[in-house]
């Protein structure tokens, strides 16, 4: 997956804060994913969707999607081509800030 140009483009969209476009791109990748690609694609799709909900002011939906992203992150086996630990920490921080009604910084994906 990390060698897939669509994956790199979707990560770039997410990192740029273009969450709706990133979510759509990760959704397409998710529906084509096989075996060990499924959970990373699901995780990134949920994170991008959750961040998009934050932009729209939908905190409850954002928390639900981000928590689904964390659950998918926790199911990732092997090296998916990005820093899983850093992503999980960033998403967990976003959820904590949403629950505390504090501003949420961007969540970024570091490709390895």
pLDDT tens digit sequence for 1-46:
657 899 999 999 999 999 999 999 999 999 999 999 999 999 999 9
Number of Cβ within 10 Å of residue 27's Cβ equals 17
CA 17-63-77 angle, to 5 degrees, is 80
> Nearest CA to 29 among 49, 44, 14?
44
**Do the beta carbons of residue 87 and residue 79 sit within 8 Å?**
no
Q: What is the CATH number of domain 5-99?
A: 1.10.3450.10
Q: What is the pTM of this model?
A: 0.94
């Amino acid at each position: 997956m990390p060698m897939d140009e669509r994956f790199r483009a979707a990560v770039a969209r997410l990192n740029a804060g273009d969450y709706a476009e990133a979510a759509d791109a990760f959704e397409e990748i998710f529906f084509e994913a096989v075996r060990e690609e499924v959970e990373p694609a699901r995780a990134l799709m949920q994170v991008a969707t959750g961040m998009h909900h934050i932009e729209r002011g939908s905190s409850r939906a954002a928390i639900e999607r981000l928590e689904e992203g964390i659950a998918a992150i926790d199911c990732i086996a092997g090296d998916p081509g990005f820093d899983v630990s850093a992503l999980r920490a960033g998403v967990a921080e976003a959820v904590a800030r949403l629950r505390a009604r504090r501003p949420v910084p961007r969540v970024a994906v570091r490709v390895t």
